[in-house]
Structure 1
Amino acid sequence: MKYFGTDGIRGEYGGEHVNEAFFEGLGAAVSAHLQGKIKGRLPKIAIAGDTRFSSEPLKAAFCKGLRGVEVADFGVVPTPALAFGVLKEKADFGVMITASHNPYTDNGIKFFDENARKASDEAQEQIEKFFDEKISGSGAEASVKKVDMKSHYIAKMGSILPKGCLKGLKIALDCANGATAGISGEVLRGYGAEVVEIGISPDGKNINCNIGSEHPEALARLVKDSGAFIGLAHDGDGDRLVVCDENANKIAGECVMGLIAIEASRQNALKGGAIVTTIQSNVGMDESLKKRGVEVFRSGVGDRLVMRLMLEKGCEIGGENSGHYIFMDISPCGDGLAAAVKLLSTLLCLKIKVSEMSGVVSLYPSIQKALKVARKTPISETPTLSKTVEKIEREMSGNGRVLIRYSGTENKIRLLVEGKDSALNEKSMAELVKSVENDLQ
């Protein structure tokens, strides 16, 4: 697609695709898209944003472009709260103004359908077409009504577990100065936990700034200083969860997802007897889960693709090792707070420490790097990198893998080397980095 990446449109605020004029045009195109689908009444749109200084002006610009629709404005809430609100308000479309885990200088937009799932490729392609052709909806300017979805979302998330079930637990929480500030802590305290928090004072420019899921070292320090049972960190829009154990060590996303799936299977509550993850996740998880009768299906990268395969395979649990987890019995999209609640419940059932999770789900040694690139040449057409990949695959002889892909939202290439031989992994990654420098930088 021309404008949409793996997770909506994202870029530097004031840039070519993230500015008020562009977002006003998107609003006009979305109006036309919805009016083509819905007859006999005004379509309804739910909209929200994160804590970036640019979110409100971009939201206002988007709404300015809307015609012949009703709008429920939820203010500043996490992306999963926007999705929840789409269902609660019976909206026909959801719009989230956010750049997720990116720095405050970036912003973006994500679209959701009436089922609170990420908008389909077909819908996004039509919106792009209407945008380029300057096709707008008809009718009056949108009527915008403020709705307090934050309170409804807190009530929903506070009703999943038994009251008081976390009494006696100390939880370290990092809200990234983002949209979960004032939400996740309140929910966890409602369950009886003692919560020590950072990242709860957003000022428009400190979202994700050396804090949150992209900077787990801040959470690790908080765990160490507070003596917490567990550390939990969100990203700026609250659809991710990163976990630290009681020793301030980061827990792999595969261990989080795998442990929850194993316990659900043990309780005969794992729908489809399987989970969905992406090609990025460590294959050691597959082996650990297979031993316990849990199958693993793999999709391309991006929670839209995870959700698509979950629906196809009839699964309720899915996610990415980056910290995006989907639990269909709670939310139709990635939800960092839902993941935290699920994990805490699982740990209580198993009566284990967070540091013991890796003993249940074992992973291969792996190395990952993300490097900036000047161009995104197809890997097969690179003179050095393609040959390096072939060489490494021969050396691994089926005892590991190499995965290379370009980011869908940034000018970066993501490298993964995974195998049983740690020394070979290190050597292979060094060769890949050198090849990227030669071919793409």
Structure 2
Amino acid sequence: ADLGADFGVMVSASHNPAPDNGIKFFARGGVKLADEIENEIEQAMGGKPIRAVAGDVGRIRRFSDAEDRYVVHLLSTLDVTLGGLHVVLDCAHGAASGISPDVFADAGARVTVIGNDPDGVNINRDVGSTHLQLLQQTVKDVGADLGIAHDGDADRCLAVDADGNIVDGDQIMAILAVSSKRRGLLKDNTLVATVMSNLGLRVAMEEHDIEMVQTKVGDRYVLQALNASGLSLGGEQSGHIIFTDAATTGDGVLTGLQIAAEMARTGKSLAELASVMTVYPQVLVNVTGVDRLGLAGDTEIDRHAATIEAELGDTGRVLLRPSGTENVIRVMVEAADELRARAAADELAELIKVRLGE
């Protein structure tokens, strides 16, 4: 977006190991391509190769000050200094390694860094937002105020409080939505989240008179909803948070800065800020070996799920969702009591196996 380029390509396995690397495309303005365009590109890859000849061959020009421009942009989003905060950064041996430590230090924080020694194959290996144990231990060992975990391509951010407790994407959204509303920055007083976000997030938003729009699972659907209504904040439980005023997609470094800034702004610990939301026990069961397409229109499964949800009342929720890529149906149950949630999820999983087993 900064260069006004027509097209961008990123090599990424997201939060997965290096052998899973693929490519992400970005259109003019730094936005992800629509599904139908990505499908056309994928189909074209299987066709006859286009070979450039002679003067048609492209040229490579290095964008030498890209990192500096990015750092300046990130720092421009802050209205407070992070002086006095001790932050542990887990860079997942990935894209954040060369940026996140410098940004937090420039913002005034004291920084301890782990997971910042990429060698091309160790990305996300036992570090980052999907492996938080080392970050949790390091935060406690060095007496830091918080820990920030990125994933390999640095579009996600999860956090750890001073006692080593995980603060997930839902809690981060709750913190930032309440903060944005207080400062008059939450457009239309609305937060966008997916159907997988914890029931506690919806309850917290109701308590703070913030509207909540829910989308299908996937950051692209969150972004579509944000753009369609001109909203400013949305995200996923995984820590993929989107600030449309400052970015065109998820940015884990930006998210981490905003969490730390709210701590500096309020003088509260991360645990105090996270207490704005009560996390309801959430049980997820993946039912394999079933006809995922058969879920739609199965009245017996629908009826049983509705009965369980009615029994749970305002303190529970049931979500049945077929996988988009494999014959798996995901059963998610939330309840005030974890044992009740587990029992309900197992009960629905067994019914799905009986009804839709292949």
TM over 0.5: yes
Paired with 2:267 and 2:68, the residues of 1 have a C-alpha distance of 32
Instruction: Select 2:165's aligned residue among 242, 245, 249.
Output: 249
Cα deviations by residue, 1:149-168 (Å, 9 ceiling, x for unpaired) = 223212322333257x1112
Offset at residue 378 of structure 1 (A): 2.0
Cα deviations by residue, 1:29-79 (Å, 9 ceiling, x for unpaired) = xxxxxxxxxxxxxxxxxxxxxxxxxxxxxxxxxxxxxxxxxxxxxxxxxxx
Q: Specify the alignment match of 2:176 in structure 1.
A: 260
Q: Specify the alignment match of 1:107 in structure 2.
A: 21
Q: Specify the alignment match of 1:127 in structure 2.
A: 41
Q: Specify the alignment match of 1:160 in structure 2.
A: 77
Paired with 1:103 and 1:436, the residues of 2 have a C-alpha distance of 32
Offset at residue 357 of structure 1 (A): 2.6
Secondary structure of the structure 2 residue equivalent to 1:244: strand
- Structure 2: unaligned runs, 5 residues or longer: none
**Does the 8 A contact of 1:326 with 1:334 survive in 2?**
yes
Q: Specify the alignment match of 1:11 in structure 2.
A: none
**Does the 8 A contact of 2:287 with 2:349 survive in 1?**
no
Q: Specify the alignment match of 2:212 in structure 1.
A: 296
Alignment of 1:187-266 (within 5 A): 187-266=103-182
Offset at residue 431 of structure 1 (A): 3.4
**Does the 8 A contact of 2:242 with 2:251 survive in 1?**
yes
**Does the 8 A contact of 2:287 with 2:353 survive in 1?**
no
In structure 1, what residue type is equivalent to 2:175?
L
Matching of residue 306 in structure 1 with residue 222 in structure 2: yes
Q: Specify the alignment match of 1:88 in structure 2.
A: 2
Alignment of 1:409-420 (within 5 A): 414-420=330-336
In structure 2, what residue type is equivalent to 1:114?
R
Paired with 2:328 and 2:147, the residues of 1 have a C-alpha distance of 29
Secondary structure of the structure 1 residue equivalent to 2:273: helix
Matching of residue 150 in structure 1 with residue 67 in structure 2: yes
Paired with 1:345 and 1:141, the residues of 2 have a C-alpha distance of 47
Offset at residue 145 of structure 1 (A): 1.4
**Does the 8 A contact of 1:161 with 1:345 survive in 2?**
yes
**Does the 8 A contact of 1:396 with 1:419 survive in 2?**
no
Q: Specify the alignment match of 1:323 in structure 2.
A: 239
| CA 365–203 in structure 1, closer or farther in 2 if over 3 Å, else same | same
| CA 223–124 in structure 1, closer or farther in 2 if over 3 Å, else same | same
In structure 2, what residue type is equivalent to 1:250?
I
Secondary structure of the structure 2 residue equivalent to 1:417: strand
**Does the 8 A contact of 1:277 with 1:299 survive in 2?**
yes
CA RMSD between the two structures: 2.7
TM-score (structure 1 length as normaliser): 0.73
Q: Specify the alignment match of 1:394 in structure 2.
A: 307
- Structure 1: unaligned runs, 5 residues or longer: 1-86
Instruction: Select 1:335's aligned residue among 251, 264, 268.
Output: 251
| CA 152–282 in structure 1, closer or farther in 2 if over 3 Å, else same | same
Mean CA deviation greater in 222-231 or 429-438: 429-438
**Does the 8 A contact of 1:162 with 1:191 survive in 2?**
no
In structure 1, what residue type is equivalent to 2:118?
P
**Does the 8 A contact of 1:388 with 1:431 survive in 2?**
no
Offset at residue 253 of structure 1 (A): 1.6
Offset at residue 223 of structure 1 (A): 1.0
Number of residues paired by the alignment?
Answer: 351
**Does the 8 A contact of 2:149 with 2:157 survive in 1?**
yes
Instruction: Select 1:185's aligned residue among 96, 101, 108.
Output: 101
Secondary structure of the structure 1 residue equivalent to 2:21: strand
Paired with 1:146 and 1:407, the residues of 2 have a C-alpha distance of 40
In structure 1, what residue type is equivalent to 2:192?
V
Offset at residue 111 of structure 1 (A): 1.3
Paired with 1:232 and 1:153, the residues of 2 have a C-alpha distance of 19
Secondary structure of the structure 2 residue equivalent to 1:197: strand
Paired with 2:204 and 2:227, the residues of 1 have a C-alpha distance of 24
Offset at residue 143 of structure 1 (A): 1.6
Secondary structure of the structure 2 residue equivalent to 1:378: helix
Identity over aligned residues, as a percent?
A: 35
Offset at residue 339 of structure 1 (A): 0.6
Paired with 2:333 and 2:23, the residues of 1 have a C-alpha distance of 32
**Does the 8 A contact of 2:292 with 2:327 survive in 1?**
no
Paired with 2:234 and 2:14, the residues of 1 have a C-alpha distance of 19
**Does the 8 A contact of 1:376 with 1:406 survive in 2?**
no
